[in-house]
Amino acid sequence: MGSAWKAVADDNRRQVLLILRDGEKTPSEIARHFSFTLPALSTHLRVLKDAGLVGERKEGQRKFYSVNREGMSDIADFLDEFWDENLRKLKQHAEAKERKKNRK
């Protein structure tokens, strides 16, 4: 599993995610939005999938890719650390509680 951070660091990959936002699409459909080749897109999709940011579904010879929003949770969590001190404390408290529970 690759990191979501590295996956979204690339401009083209973020663009892919935005394109998929409205619904699943095949590689060739996605590739129309870009100037690079299909194999290049294929590797981008692989990176996004390894990062858990997209899912795939095969239907015959075509493959449909879709956004996996849960894959963005690491990024969202990081931002939350800076969003609000109170939120951060609440979260720490919840996590401490969780650890306590798991220790039982």
**Contact between 90 and a second copy (CB under 8 A)?**
no
The pattern of x and - marking residues 17 through 36 that bind a second copy according to CB under 8 A reads xx--xx--------------
Q: Give the residue, chosen from 5, 36, 78, 83, that forms a contact with DNA under the rule CB under 7 A.
A: 36
Interface region with DNA, contact rule CB under 7 A, candidates 16-24, 41-49, 69-77, 85-93: 41-49
Q: Give the residue, chosen from 69, 90, 92, 96, that forms a contact with a second copy under the rule CB under 8 A.
A: 69
Q: In the structure, how many helices (H) and strands (E) does the chain have?
A: 6, 2
Q: Cα–Cα distance between 57 and 67 in angstroms, integer?
A: 12
Strands (E), 1-104: 54-59, 62-67
Report which residue type is found at 80: D
Q: Cα–Cα distance between 83 and 30 in angstroms, integer?
A: 34
Q: Cα–Cα distance between 85 and 3 in angstroms, integer?
A: 26
Q: Give the residue, chosen from 50, 56, 66, 91, that forms a contact with DNA under the rule CB under 7 A.
A: 56
Binding-site ranges for DNA (CB under 7 A): 6, 9-10, 12, 26-29, 35-47, 56, 58, 60-63
